[in-house]
């Protein structure tokens, strides 16, 4: 087999293996970050391979608002199970270690969002947008809060990211009248 074809197949298997091991949908940026961090492939190759894997029905591309996430299809699972031996053991170990060290962080980052932007047509200078999604990317809660300063916006973003689960529970209890 030609070296370039072999490398192409290995790169695609690496992407499938990563998505299988993480166990939940991954965003394009999460996949790219991993691939670039480990020097497995460049950004443009990742984009090409993801597109080809979707076209081959080995990955499913799910769009939800501004987020695109990739999940392994049944065919993709079969492919990785059949060809997993073609991924070098060293690479599999690196992926396994990466997943073990980063799974919780990636999962939390994919579910909890907080950002702010400037608002020129209001009495406030900034608007903070906080969100909470379930594992498939469906919004559970989204809150927009106008604030006067960038410092307030940053504080709210940090507090939301650190306490989203607790804040969600408190807000929900207040809204349904079950505050304790």
- pLDDT tens-digit map of 99-114: 998 887 777 666 788 8
d(CA 14, CA 131) in angstroms, rounded, equals 31
Q: Tell which phi-psi region holds residue 57, choosing left (phi > 0), alpha (psi between -120 and 50) or beta.
A: left
Residue 22's pLDDT band, with cuts at 50, 70 and 90, is confident
Q: Regarding predicted confidence, which is higher, 1 or 32?
A: 32
Specify the domain boundaries for CATH 1.10.10.10 within the chain.
3-87
- pLDDT the model gives residue 67: 67
Say how far residue 114 (Cα) sits from the centre of its chain. 14
Please list, residue by residue across 47-86, b when 16 or more beta carbons sit within 10 angstroms of its beta carbon and e when fewer do. Answer: eebbeebeeeebbbeeeeeeebbbbbbeebeebbeeeeee
Coil, strand or helix: which one is 24?
Answer: coil
Q: Select the CATH number that applies to the domain covering 3-87 from these four: 3.90.180.10, 3.40.50.300, 3.30.420.40, 1.10.10.10.
A: 1.10.10.10
Q: How confident is the model at residue 1 (pLDDT cuts 50, 70, 90)?
A: very low
Euclidean distance between CA atoms 146 and 89, whole angstroms: 51
| pLDDT over 70 (residue 3) | no
pLDDT of residue 137: 65
The Cα 25–Cα 125 span in angstroms is: 35
Q: How does pLDDT run across 39-88, given as a tens digit for each residue?
A: 899 999 999 999 999 999 999 998 765 667 888 999 999 999 999 998 99
The average pLDDT across 118-133 equals 82
Non-local (6+) Cβ contacts of 103 within 8 A are: 22, 23
Q: Is pLDDT at 8 greater than 90 in this prediction?
A: no
């Amino acid at each position: 087999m030609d070296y370039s074809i072999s490398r192409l197949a290995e790169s695609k298997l690496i992407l499938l293996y990563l998505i299988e091991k993480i166990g939940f949908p991954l965003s394009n940026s999460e996949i790219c970050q991993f691939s670039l961090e480990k020097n497995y492939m460049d950004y443009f190759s990742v984009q090409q391979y993801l597109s080809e894997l979707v076209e081959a029905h080995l990955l499913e591309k799910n769009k939800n608002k501004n987020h695109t996430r990739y999940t392994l299809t049944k065919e993709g699972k079969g492919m990785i199970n059949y060809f997993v031996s073609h991924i070098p053991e060293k690479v599999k170990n690196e992926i396994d270690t990466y997943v073990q060290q980063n799974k919780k962080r990636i999962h939390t980052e994919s579910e909890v969002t907080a950002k702010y932007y400037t608002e020129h047509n209001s009495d406030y200078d900034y608007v903070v947008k906080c969100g909470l999604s379930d594992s498939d990317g469906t919004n559970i809660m989204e809150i927009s809060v106008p604030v006067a300063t960038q410092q307030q916006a940053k504080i709210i973003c940090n507090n939301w990211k650190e306490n989203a689960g607790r804040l969600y529970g408190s807000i929900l209890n207040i809204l349904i009248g079950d505050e304790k």
